[in-house]
A and B are shown apart, each in its own frame.
Chain A
Amino acid sequence: MTAMPDTPDTPARPARRLDTAKLRQARVAGWVLMGLAVMVALVFARDSAGTAVFRLSRPNDPLALPDLVVAAAPYNYFAAALLAFLGARQFMRGGMRWTSLSLGLGLFIAVTAFLVWATAGKAFSLTGMLQATVVRAVPIALGGLAGVLSERVAVVNIAIEGMLLAGAFTGALIGSLLGGWGGLAAAVAMGGVFGFILAALVVTYRVDQIIAGVVINLFVLGVTSYVSSQVYQEHRFLNNAPVFAPVKIPLLGDLPVIGPVLFNQNLFVYGAMVMVAVATYYLFHTRYGLRARAVGEHPRAADTLGINVYRTRYINVTIAGMVAGFGGAWFTLGSVGRFDENMTGGRGYIGLAAMIFGRWHPVGALAAALVFGFADSLQQKLALLQTPIPSEFLAMAPYIATIVLVAGLVGRARPPAADGQPYIKE
């Protein structure tokens, strides 16, 4: 802040504080890694007997890979040793430079050790789980992307949840009447409408952004629940939409592991990947993206330079709504074809978390969404393996991991400077 007292020692102080903070972060990461090492050695390695078989492809795939067979106990002792090394590395000189990388790698190793332990003596389809990961990450990634697009122009978007729900509802309703593509177009349009409403409320009517988001969420939940309990009960044909089937991309779809995971999915998975790429290009490599970010960081300066702050916010928030509407359609047109009350079940809030976790960057949000999707599918698939850990704890693990990562790693991630503030033109 500019209010910093002008004493001679001020220039040195922030630097020192930064250093100790990083050092402490490195230490904390070290302890976390050590803890993981101990857990892997004592719980997973000691209890692993036999081999774990990971199926990588189905027998009739054109390019079949052999199963991945891992000797459980040796692998887990190795993993524990590796974790201990990474942890110890954090306490040595210069360890703080590697904090993020070590912690990420460490968590990855711990997850593999856990998988090997859970699979020991059994067989498990790795490809199937990864495929489910990508599918489940889609709505979270699109929600996160919608958040990125609107927060980059400094509009806090709590309304992602409502926009997803509106997209899901519209997709099912119009999809039942006009078919899948009509439903999809309507869902995107409806998302855009709520994006526009959010923009109108916060930009023109200067409603507090969080209130506006909460209002949209409540309103959409109310309308969709009301219609589904009041109308769908009698007219079931209105809630019976076609589902987009997976489309296999020739050649790439035949690759082992990568093929089924990335190139044999439905429209929504491809759409999410394309949108993340386009959004990244738009935000960081085009002049419109630069203008949008300028509006998010310093609207007054942007205004002085002739950028229309209000119009930029309207356009970006509306596009964000359309992205969320597309993500919402996944719930109905991309999976079950039917709308249920409150079927998004908080996925919009997880998308919000993914956005913060991904540091307000589209690719970061996608990566965070994949982590949540992985945990989601892991929990589901592990129920089949019957581990002694209660499934509720498995379900909690990703959220606990998020807290650890956010607290230890991302820390003071920086939102766009003007985030949440209305702009009033002079």
Chain B
Amino acid sequence: MSEQETEAGLAESLLRRAAPDRAEFEDLVIVPIFAVVVALILGALTMLATNVDLPTIGKSYLALVQGSVGSLNALSETLTAAAPLTLAGLGIALGFRAGLFNIGAEGQLLVGGMAAVITGFSFPGLPMAIHLPLALLAGAVAGGLYAGIAGWLRAATGAHEVILTIMLNLIAFRLVDYMLRLPWVQREGRADPISRSVLTSAELPRIFTWLDPNLRLHLGIVLTLAAVLLVHWVLFRTKLGFEFRASGAGPDAARYAGMRAGLLIVIVMAFAGALAGLAGANQVLGVLGRATPGFSSGIGFDAIAVALLGRSHPWGVLAAGLLFGALEAGGRQMQVSAGVSLDLIGIIQALIIAFIAAPLLVRAIFPWGFRRAAKAPKE
């Protein structure tokens, strides 16, 4: 009994995070701006504390801006980095909406990426119109099935999805390491674990090479936008989406209303896994062209932050994904031209999330700029 109460409580807190009662202008615009500014100031203080001089700090922030939005190439890099974060973040957001905490995006991304790579190099001679969709589909299906395991176990046995997805992540890492050494996956003549290259017919084509042949932005960004629209449509315009949100908001109420809670959990997890798998496919088919151990490079974990930052709303997730992509791309430029480690970006990202998630904290630091004085919201 009390376990259900706990679930209801958890769902309630998830819902509060997912759907703020009133979309206040202050919370949606002023707080994020303050968050970014304060995070950048604190980042500068961190640099000062580690003996970076002031001109270099100025140079590195200039590089951060130039590297993320300063040129056509920078914009292309930002969007390229944003696509997988947004895709995986959408999956996690979907889970939050339904009251599930899916830490497993990293594993689903790896499994999906592997499936896409294998499909991508296995069928020489297929025309692109068939091969590319097939590889993407393979990624989505593999990610969906892999997450479906967690969903099914959760629904059938009540095992905690957090522990299940953590374990599946760890398993996926080993599985990829193992597969990369299989003779029919490993690249010919190589001793290190690396897969064969994806054939051109399965690559996500770059879409702006007619402007500048160096632009890396590929079709994955269109896929990402389509996914945002799809998730928005499913979540807010279909019966299934209503059931997701209802079972997240009140599992008991949803059950008494005749919704099949177990089935919904499986569907949500599979859907989320498919999106994460698509993010993996997006990486290997659009950016890397092959798979190596740990090719997910933490995208699945960053996506948790993206989903939280986007308040589990499809458009919010897209905005958060773009912000993180910009920081990623700008950070690389910063490392190259100012010699400041890329890891600084991690600090800035963490601070931005902290301030956005804690409007009370921002109001306490900056009492001006808000109409009302800082005060606790009444329940």
Contacts and interface: CB of A to CB of B under 8 A. Distances in A.
A395 B351 CA distance: 35
Contacts of B169: 346
Contacts of B361: 201, 205, 207
Nearest to B167: A399
Contact of A357 (B9, B50, B163): B163
A424 B379 contact: yes
B46 A226 contact: yes
Nearest to A420: B10
A352 B174 contact: no
A226 B344 contact: yes
Interface in A350-379: 350, 352-353, 356-357
Interface in B340-357: 340-341, 343-351, 353-354, 357
B103 interface: yes
Interface string A407-426: 11011111111111110100
B27 interface: no
A353 B167 contact: yes
A226 B17 contact: no
Interface stretch (A68-76, A85-93, A112-120, A208-216): A208-216
B123 interface: no
B13 A422 contact: yes
A411 B252 contact: no
Interface stretch (B127-135, B151-159, B223-231, B235-243): B151-159
B267 interface: no
- In this complex, the member of B4, B168, B354 whose beta carbon has the largest number of chain A beta carbons within 10 angstroms is B354
Nearest to B160: A356
Interface string A222-240: 1101110111000000000
B263 interface: no
A218 B305 CA distance: 9
Contact of A211 (B160, B256, B351, B357): B357
Contact of A403 (B153, B174, B341, B344): B153
A345 B261 CA distance: 35
Given A218-B350, A396-B171, A411-B159, A349 B2 contact: no
B169 to A, nearest CB: 8
Contacts of B164: 403, 406-407
B166 interface: yes
Nearest to A341: B343
B174 A210 contact: no
A44 to B, nearest CB: 21
A229 B343 contact: yes
A279 to B, nearest CB: 21
Contacts of A418: 6, 9
A226 B166 contact: no
B252 A396 contact: no
A417 B5 contact: yes
B357 A207 contact: yes
B174 A396 contact: yes
Contacts of A212: 354, 357
Nearest to A425: B376
A15 interface: no
B359 to A, nearest CB: 9
Given A218-B346, A222-B347, A395-B174, A230 B10 contact: no
Contacts of A226: 46, 50, 341, 343-344, 346-347
Interface in A189-227: 201, 205-212, 214-216, 218-219, 221-223, 225-227
A1 interface: yes
A356 B46 contact: no
B354 A399 contact: no
B211 interface: no
Nearest to B101: A210
A308 interface: no
Contact of B2 (A352, A392, A407, A414): A414
Interface string A129-142: 00000000000000
- In this complex, the member of B158, B164, B346 whose beta carbon has the largest number of chain A beta carbons within 10 angstroms is B346
Contact of B46 (A201, A223, A350, A417): A223
Nearest to B308: A211
Nearest to A395: B174
B89 to A, nearest CB: 13
- In this complex, the member of A209, A223, A229, A230 whose beta carbon has the largest number of chain B beta carbons within 10 angstroms is A230
B358 interface: yes
B170 interface: yes
Contact of A223 (B3, B13, B160, B347): B347
- In this complex, the member of B6, B103, B178 whose beta carbon has the largest number of chain A beta carbons within 10 angstroms is B6
Contacts of B170: 346, 350, 396, 399
Contacts of A390: 178, 181
B147 to A, nearest CB: 14
A212 B351 CA distance: 11
B9 A392 contact: no
B260 interface: no
A230 B159 contact: no
Contacts of A206: 358, 360, 376
B151 to A, nearest CB: 12
B304 interface: yes
A218 to B, nearest CB: 4
Contacts of B158: 411-412
B163 A356 contact: yes
B306 to A, nearest CB: 11
Interface in A68-125: none
A207 B178 contact: no
A352 B17 contact: no
A402 to B, nearest CB: 5
B162 A356 contact: yes
A398 to B, nearest CB: 9
B219 interface: no
Nearest to A223: B347
A413 B157 CA distance: 11
Contact of A407 (B101, B159, B351): B159
Nearest to A418: B9
Contacts of B253: 3
Given A208-B13, A208-B16, 8 more contacts: A3-B252, A218-B349, A346-B169, A349-B103, A399-B167, A411-B159, A412-B158, A422-B13
Kindly list the 10 A-B residue pairs having the minimum CB-CB distance in the complex, ordered from nearest.
A222-B346, A219-B350, A222-B347, A218-B350, A392-B178, A225-B343, A226-B343, A412-B158, A399-B167, A407-B157
Interface of B: 1-6, 8-10, 12-13, 16-17, 46, 50-52, 101, 103, 153, 156-160, 162-164, 166-171, 174-175, 177-178, 181, 252-253, 256, 304-305, 308, 340-341, 343-351, 353-354, 357-358, 360-361, 364, 376, 379
9 contacts: A1-B5, A222-B343, A223-B46, A346-B170, A356-B163, A390-B181, A403-B167, A418-B9, A421-B10
